[in-house]
Amino acid sequence: MSSNVSGSSFPDPDTSRVVRFAARPRPNAPPGKNGFLNLSLLLLVLLSSSGLLAIEEGELKATPATIRLRGQLSSQQVLLTTSRDGVDVDLTRQAEFQPANEDLLRVDGKGILTAIGSGRTEVVIRYEKKEVRIPVEILKGETWLPVTFEQDIQPVLTKLGCNAGTCHGKQRGQNGFQLSLLGFDHDFDFDALVREGRGRRVFPASPANSLLLLKAAALTPHGGGKRIAPAGKHYNTLKRWIAAGLPRTPPETPKLQRVSVFPTERIMRPRTGQQILVTAHYSDGSSRDVTRLAAYQSNESPIAKVGKTGLVQAGPLPGEAAIMTRYMGKFATFSVSIPLEGEIPAEYYRSLERNNFIDELVWKKLERLKIKPSPQCGDSEYLRRVYIDVIGRLPSPAETRTFLSSKDPAKRRDLVDSLLSRPEYADHWANKWVDLLRPNPYRVGIKAVRSLDRWVRKNFRENKPYDRFVHDLLTSQGSTFRNGAVTVFRDRRSPEELVTMFSQLFLGIRLECARCHQHPFEIWSQKDFYSLAAYFAKVGRKGTGLSPPISGSEEYIFTKKGGEVRHPRTNEILPPRPLFGDSPTLSSSQDPRQALALWMLRKDNGFFPAVMVNRVWADLMGRGIVEPVDDIRESNPPSNKELLDALARHFREVNYDLKTLLRTILASRVYSLSSRPGERNIADTRNYSRHYRQRLRAEVLLDGVCDITGIPEKFSAMPPGSRAAELWTHRTASNFLDTFGRPDPNQDPPCMRIEDTTVVQALHLMNAPNLDRKIRNENGRAAALAASKMSPEEIVEELYLLVYARYPQDEEMRAGSSRIPPAGTPVKGRRSAVEDLLWALLNTPEFLFKD
Amino acid sequence: MKKPTSRSHQVNCEGLSRRSCLQLGLGSFLGGGLVSALRFRSLAASEGAAATAPTSCILVWLDGGPTHYETFDPKPEAPKEIRGEYETIPTGIPGVRFSKHMKRLAGITDKLAIIRSIRHDHGNHGAGNHYMMTGAPTRIPVSCGAFVSFHPSLGSVTARERGAPKGLPAYFSLGRMSRSGGPNFLGARHAPFVVKNDPNQGSFRVRDVALPKGLDGARFSSRQDIRREVDRFLRIQNETAGDPVAAYDEYFRQGHDLITSAQAQEAFDIHREPSTTRDLYGRNSFGQRALLARRLVEAGVPFVTLYDGGWDHHTNLFKSLDTMLPPRDRALAALIQDLDQRGMLDSTMVICLGEFGRTPKINERGGRDHWSNAMSVLFAGGRTPGGQVVGATDRKGYSASRRVLSPENFASTIYKKLGIDPGKILYTPEGRPIHLVSDPTPIRELMG
């Protein structure tokens, strides 16, 4: 190792590990593709004591390939990469960097070049006996470039954490000093630093005595501790800015347009490191290295963590992580995959069957991670799964018998078709939407809520294309008694509330943070928020508004002549403007919501189909490609972007026909994978290499229990015989539904459904008086079976078909039937035996879960 | 006094019974794999020692952030817009005054320690709740609406480290679960058992724990046998698989234990209390939950959270507090005195707090807003030296200014008293090591 590295105070944990990793014998490595093979072999032999090596080592590659620095102490992170077994490996911290002219350039052990003079030179980077040279041009290397507020100071304050939400960036600041969160408001921050407190925070006549520097360097007591080293680089920048008279960045200065990251993705071996390089790009085409000024966050720290300097460390386990890099409100993401150890031949993945594009894209991802999918599930598993998913009920014994006995090779496809045309389909899928839209009837009135409920169900019965559904909801007008869609506008009464809801539900964009400040991990500003809200400025209301707890009156929603939305800080009137893309033109008489709908439904608005396919996929597969399902943003990357994109494209191509989308997903091999893991996918919880089990939803469970026991539930304010799937409000009393986590309209958020199991659920299935009455009812299933002429074996078979949708296995049949007295014996004993077996089956996970 | 209540009945001479091993298999699912399994073994082995000084904790959580001015840290010298409408009253500690409604507590200050100098910088409900309930700040910024869990709660850690008494869960939450009161990576088995039902109601029983009418114990137990026989659903025996069935199995076992446990049925039966005792706590939901908490601790439960909502007084502070404070003052004083009379106070901590204090200046709506620079925390029992105030805020109550303490110090104090090393390392299911508390220094004044 070079003296640079050993002299560094920077911890370098993978130095030794590279050697160990390289020393692993790889007898099956393919022959080298280039002339370096022999050389690298020799090198590795020298490197390792075991000497048994056959790793294909590629050429050295330095990034960036050419460097241009401007100004004294301007710097550039350089990365050194090579290819090992076809996988790129970061060698930056093992390499030796040698400037050709040490008067112009300084280099440290982490690959950072710093300008100290002007002119052209080059840097030689050596690793083992290979080397690569990169030309460097330095302009004004002896000159301190001017330091200005927006361009130079704000990034430093952000990097140091001064304006973080836990510090001076929080809503009321910290100890009387407040900055905007992560520096989104330059004017405010400049005032806070320069003008507020009679300018005591900065002291141009004697910069070192500025409170800003004294506090940050903890030379006077500072609640936040020591943030910078006196005389360090950041200290120096702040001091020069104060000394120069606190200049703002001139408005004509090129604007930051985006940041990029290198590399964007890597396959990493466990316990190795990868430095990332973050570059800011400006409107004049220039760029600069901001690696040391960017902030970093990993979405899966145990898989790969990232330090303040942008060094990513792979953990010991296989998996994936996304490292988010943030610089002055712009983001870029670096994706890490750590595959399972061991090799799987490519033919294995080629040989996997593909029914459609879903299989193609999922297998592709599995190949990357070297995960093997589970086998296809059996017919009875598929049957129960698809009934629950498509129509939210369990198959009846007759349906199960028919399906299992059919020899038709197309029977799975035919089953899906027949389920999609059943009336329960509409109720089951409409329920998912009413969950999200349904207001509390105590707030907006019973009739208005019923009217919304009917409207949503009608749309699903008619299979209205999803884009029309959203369009009609978004632009609805008229009476809350006649057009249920407008109830949403009765419930949400301000543009701010409406925009938050519509953007989250239909675009997967969460804007509530932007209402008050720019969200740290989001690109939307306050201005974006209120400009989008302005599309709802002309929503007019006539009639009697809310008067809880009855709110029984009728209200009309119409388009007003006037109405505007103002920016809360600047008080500027904001015309309607979409979040991105062109603004559709709008005549003054038009309902602005029409324009908003046009923009949302535009072909190039990928958010619109993506959030819906992601919801549907999550419901069917047990986990969203993006989680949470309605939080689509660059800083929350999908587990399989290609798949999400392809599904979204498909949904648009089939004109937003939900049934077609369902058919496509249900037809895939991926959907019908078994839940039983193998050795190479047991730890996979996000790549769909097996079916992820889900607990049945509250309504599905309750309806299932009623169907199985033969005793329907009685709901208040519903006709007799109604099913839980048909309830129009969660205010309908039901301990069962509450216990199994239906949304609680009294909670925030009111649409939150609990999917977990709890001890209370286990107790409820065991002991709830209502359930006990169903099992032991004299008009119920158990009583009827006991009173029938059926043999014990026939009863056992019937119960297994009812509860599990499968035939009992021999052993189960023997055990079950031995407990039931034969037909003709006293009914009492038979009945309690059947009841007990039924109770036992209902209390097993095979009933409670979708397998 | 309390009997040794841990798992001794399950432990054979090799250290672990077969049943414990089954649980262990599950534990490794839900908890920290092999590492936690090893810890479990060491816990089981040291049960004799643990039984000598098992301190329990009743954590009274005032959700929303109670004001420090109107409770334990009044500022009578401050300007009107800060000191508020309430007079102050003397306490048993010379020179220390409480706000006017804290009458009964002011009379038993010999048993209390009031900490006036815990502060943090997480002034929203989501993050503040997390910090105080777990001793760890949230990993990423969260907002007021957040229901977050990045770190296991005090109660869940206690449940794991101390284990459950016979027939009862180790961790209860009365009223409801608090936002960050969950187990996080410790797994579902260490989640609180929530008793939603109101013990002040005549019909109070813990829902679904009692067998349905007309079903006797013998039939219930024969049903359990049948269930064991028919339950052949494949279990995915690997913690990283995240199989939800594993959690359900654990809940089923807990539920079954509850139903069949005489201890549980007795602890829940608040109607056995003499009516004078029930009156002492106050015939209201809060008072009776405090009494139920005592009964649970008596039955050997190591951690009970008493959840009490409605403390986010952005408006009409004084009007609300006029009705809210007296019953709380009464119930807390009754609880502490009752524990004392039963000889249980040395082995039971009573702690009362919320996520933060409230703003010095009364706002235009007559309320106080979130303020994490200062708060007051009540501590009693568990060998905490009484008659003291720890730390102080500045003259106007803006900020903790003397003996400034952190939520980490607070959590470490509780863990120490519970016999849990706050400096220990926990492992996530992925094997990642996590410090239980990043600064394991307890508040020495409270340690006795």
In this prediction, residue B435 carries a pLDDT of 82
The H or E element spanning position B425 is strand B425-427
**Other beta carbons less than 10 A from residue A373's beta carbon:** 24
Q: How many angstroms away from the CA of B431 is the closest CA of chain A?
A: 8
B10 or A808, higher pLDDT = A808
Grouping H, G, I as helix, E, B as strand and the rest as coil, residue A259 is: strand
Same domain, A178 and A101: no
Q: Does B364 reach chain A within 8 Å, measured CB to CB? A: no
Same domain, A579 and A443: yes
Provide the sign of the torsion angle of the four alpha carbons A427, A429, A432, A436, taken in this order.
negative
**DSSP assignment of B211-259, as one string?**
PPTT--HHHHHHHHHHHHHH--PPP---GGG--HHHHHHHHHHHHHHHH
What's the start-to-end Cα distance of chain A, in Å?
54
Same domain, A12 and A53: yes
**Whether pLDDT at A579 is above 50:** yes
Query: At residue A713, what are phi and psi to the nearest 5 degrees?
Result: -90, 145
Q: Does B30 reach chain A within 8 Å, measured CB to CB? A: no
In this prediction, residue B429 carries a pLDDT of 66
- Among chain B residues, CA nearest to A623: B242
Q: Does B283 reach chain A within 8 Å, measured CB to CB? A: no
* A761 falls within a domain: yes
Same domain, A177 and A114: no
Grouping H, G, I as helix, E, B as strand and the rest as coil, residue A135 is: strand
**Other beta carbons less than 10 A from residue B36's beta carbon:** 22
Choosing among A305, A510, A736, A759, which should be mutated to test the B contact, i.e. which has the most B CBs within 10 A? Answer: A759
- Among chain B residues, CA nearest to A804: B233
**Whether pLDDT at B18 is above 60:** no
In this prediction, residue A746 carries a pLDDT of 54
Find chain B residues with C-beta within 8 A of A851's C-beta.
Answer: 233
Average pLDDT over residues A702-725: 94
Q: For the purposes of burial, counting CB atoms within 10 Å of the CB of B228, is it exposed (0-12), middle (13-18) or buried (19 or more)?
A: exposed
Q: Least CB-CB distance to B236: which of A297, A677, A759?
A: A677
pLDDT tens digits, one per residue of A635-658: 788 999 999 999 999 999 999 999
* A416 falls within a domain: no
CA pair distance A742, A702, nearest whole angstrom:
11
Grouping H, G, I as helix, E, B as strand and the rest as coil, residue B303 is: strand
- Is A230 within 8 Å of A236 (Cβ atoms)? no
Q: Least CB-CB distance to A317: which of B229, B230, B430?
A: B430
**Whether pLDDT at A495 is above 70:** yes
**Whether pLDDT at A134 is above 90:** yes
Q: For the purposes of burial, counting CB atoms within 10 Å of the CB of A11, is it exposed (0-12), middle (13-18) or buried (19 or more)?
A: exposed
Q: How many angstroms away from the CA of A286 is the closest CA of chain B?
A: 33
Choosing among B179, B245, B361, which should be mutated to test the A contact, i.e. which has the most A CBs within 10 A? Answer: B245
**Which of A117, A139, A161 lies at the terminal end of a domain, its last residue?**
A139
CA pair distance A807, A798, nearest whole angstrom:
8
Find chain A residues with C-beta within 8 A of B247's C-beta.
Answer: 756-757
In this prediction, residue A30 carries a pLDDT of 39
Q: Is there a contact between B248 and A848 if contact means CB atoms under 8 Å apart?
A: yes
Q: Least CB-CB distance to A676: which of B213, B227, B234?
A: B234
In this prediction, residue B143 carries a pLDDT of 56
- Is A835 within 8 Å of B222 (Cβ atoms)? no
pLDDT tens digits, one per residue of A275-324: 999 999 999 999 999 999 998 988 887 789 999 999 999 988 888 889 98
Q: Least CB-CB distance to A769: which of B213, B226, B240?
A: B213
Same domain, A315 and A169: no
Quick one: how far is CA A271 from the chain centroid?
A: 25
**Whether pLDDT at A167 is above 80:** no
Look up residue A464 and give its two tokens. 């209205």
* A175 falls within a domain: yes
CA pair distance A263, A652, nearest whole angstrom:
32
Q: Is there a contact between A316 and B213 if contact means CB atoms under 8 Å apart?
A: no
Name, in order, each residue with C-beta under 8 angstroms of A337's C-beta and a sequence gap of 6 or more.
A265, A266, A267, A268, A320, A368, A369
Note the CATH architecture for domain B54-217+262-447. Answer: 3-Layer(aba) Sandwich (3.40)
In this prediction, residue A200 carries a pLDDT of 82
Helix A641-653 / helix A357-369 crossing angle, nearest 10 deg: 170
**Torsional class of A66: left (φ above 0), alpha (ψ -120 to 50), beta (otherwise):** beta
**Whether pLDDT at B39 is above 70:** no
In this prediction, residue B430 carries a pLDDT of 52
Name, in order, each residue with C-beta under 8 angstroms of A263's C-beta and a sequence gap of 6 or more.
A81, A88, A274, A276, A334
Name, in order, each residue with C-beta under 8 angstroms of B221's C-beta and a sequence gap of 6 or more.
B260
Same domain, A757 and A827: yes
| β-strands A273-275, A311-314 pairing | antiparallel
Q: Least CB-CB distance to A845: which of B140, B223, B245?
A: B245
CA pair distance A520, A326, nearest whole angstrom:
9
In this prediction, residue B242 has a pLDDT band, given cuts at 50, 70 and 90, of confident
Q: Is there a contact between B244 and A849 if contact means CB atoms under 8 Å apart?
A: yes
Same domain, A585 and A731: no
- Among chain B residues, CA nearest to A677: B236
The residues facing A428 across adjacent strands are: none
**Whether pLDDT at B144 is above 80:** no
Same domain, A209 and A263: no
In this prediction, residue B34 carries a pLDDT of 31
CA pair distance A153, B440, nearest whole angstrom:
37
Grouping H, G, I as helix, E, B as strand and the rest as coil, residue B351 is: strand
Name, in order, each residue with C-beta under 8 angstroms of A25's C-beta and a sequence gap of 6 or more.
A50, A52, A53, A54
Q: Is there a contact between A762 and B251 if contact means CB atoms under 8 Å apart?
A: yes
Give the residue carrying structure tokens 């925009």.
A499
Find chain A residues with C-beta within 8 A of B214's C-beta.
Answer: 776
* A634 falls within a domain: no
Choosing among B248, B265, B393, B398, which should be mutated to test the A contact, i.e. which has the most A CBs within 10 A? Answer: B248
Q: Is there a contact between A764 and B208 if contact means CB atoms under 8 Å apart?
A: yes
- Cα–Cα distances in Å, from B94 out to B90, B91, B109, B110, B116? 8, 7, 10, 11, 16
Look up residue A544 and give its two tokens. 């009697």
Q: Is there a contact between B248 and A768 if contact means CB atoms under 8 Å apart?
A: no
Name, in order, each residue with C-beta under 8 angstroms of B35's C-beta and a sequence gap of 6 or more.
B427, B431
- Cα–Cα distances in Å, from B143 out to A504, B66, B312, B372? 17, 19, 15, 14
Find chain A residues with C-beta within 8 A of B143's C-beta.
Answer: 513
Q: B79-98 b/e with 16+ CB inside 10 Å = b?
A: eeebbbebebeebebeebbb
- Is A315 within 8 Å of B428 (Cβ atoms)? no
- Is A162 within 8 Å of A194 (Cβ atoms)? no
In this prediction, residue A164 has a pLDDT band, given cuts at 50, 70 and 90, of confident
What's the CATH code of the domain at A320?
2.60.40.10
Average pLDDT over residues A569-584: 90
CA pair distance A633, A326, nearest whole angstrom:
13
**Whether pLDDT at B196 is above 50:** yes
In this prediction, residue A4 carries a pLDDT of 36
In this prediction, residue A585 has a pLDDT band, given cuts at 50, 70 and 90, of confident
- Is B447 within 8 Å of B49 (Cβ atoms)? no
B 187-216 residues inside an 8 A Cβ radius of A: 188, 191, 193-194, 207-215
CA pair distance A635, A697, nearest whole angstrom:
30
Q: Least CB-CB distance to A695: which of B232, B244, B249?
A: B244
Choosing among A766, A772, A813, A847, which should be mutated to test the B contact, i.e. which has the most B CBs within 10 A? Answer: A766
In this prediction, residue A752 has a pLDDT band, given cuts at 50, 70 and 90, of low
Quick one: how far is CA A517 from the chain centroid?
A: 22
- Cα–Cα distances in Å, from B359 out to A675, B61, B372? 53, 19, 9
What's the start-to-end Cα distance of chain B, in Å?
21
Same domain, A439 and A581: yes
Q: Is there a contact between B431 and A756 if contact means CB atoms under 8 Å apart?
A: no
- Among chain A residues, CA nearest to B188: A758
pLDDT tens digits, one per residue of A450-482: 999 999 999 999 999 999 999 999 999 999 999
Same domain, A198 and A315: no
Mean pLDDT of chain A, nearest integer: 88
Mean pLDDT of chain B, nearest integer: 85
* A727 falls within a domain: yes
Give the residue carrying structure tokens 């609805």.
A476
Name, in order, each residue with C-beta under 8 angstroms of B215's C-beta and a sequence gap of 6 or more.
A772
Find chain B residues with C-beta within 8 A of A763's C-beta.
Answer: 207-209, 255, 258-259
Q: Least CB-CB distance to B141: which of A520, A839, A844?
A: A520
Q: How many angstroms away from the CA of A52 is the closest CA of chain B?
A: 32
Q: Does B217 reach chain A within 8 Å, measured CB to CB? A: no
pLDDT tens digits, one per residue of A510-536: 887 787 776 666 778 889 999 999 999
- Is A235 within 8 Å of A218 (Cβ atoms)? no
- Cα–Cα distances in Å, from A258 out to A157, A251, A253, A261? 19, 18, 15, 10
- Is A804 within 8 Å of A850 (Cβ atoms)? no
B 371-430 residues inside an 8 A Cβ radius of A: 399, 428, 430
In this prediction, residue A150 carries a pLDDT of 92
Q: Does B222 reach chain A within 8 Å, measured CB to CB? A: yes
In this prediction, residue B14 carries a pLDDT of 28
Name, in order, each residue with C-beta under 8 angstroms of A316's C-beta and a sequence gap of 6 or more.
A270, A271, B431
* A667 falls within a domain: no
ipTM beyond 0.85? no
**Which of A213, A243, A273 lies at the terminal end of a domain, its last residue?**
A243
Average pLDDT over residues B102-122: 96
Q: Least CB-CB distance to B227: which of A164, A167, A843?
A: A843
Q: How many angstroms away from the CA of A775 is the closest CA of chain B?
A: 12
* A809 falls within a domain: yes
Give the residue carrying structure tokens 């939900």.
A658
Same domain, A269 and A188: no
Number of domains chain A contains: 5
In this prediction, residue B139 carries a pLDDT of 66
- Among chain B residues, CA nearest to A296: B140
Q: Is there a contact between B208 and A767 if contact means CB atoms under 8 Å apart?
A: yes
Q: Is there a contact between A758 and B428 if contact means CB atoms under 8 Å apart?
A: no
**Count of CB contacts below 8 A, A vs B?**
153
Q: pTM of this prediction?
A: 0.76
Cα dihedral B25→B27→B29→B35 (10° resolution): -100
**Other beta carbons less than 10 A from residue A747's beta carbon:** 10
Residue B179: how many CA atoms within 13 Å on its side-chain side? 27
* A616 falls within a domain: no
Quick one: how far is CA A539 from the chain centroid?
A: 32
Find chain A residues with C-beta within 8 A of B207's C-beta.
Answer: 735, 760, 763-764
Average pLDDT over residues A799-807: 98
- Provide the domain limits for residue A48: 3-139
Same domain, A135 and A282: no
Average pLDDT over residues A536-551: 89
**Torsional class of A389: left (φ above 0), alpha (ψ -120 to 50), beta (otherwise):** alpha
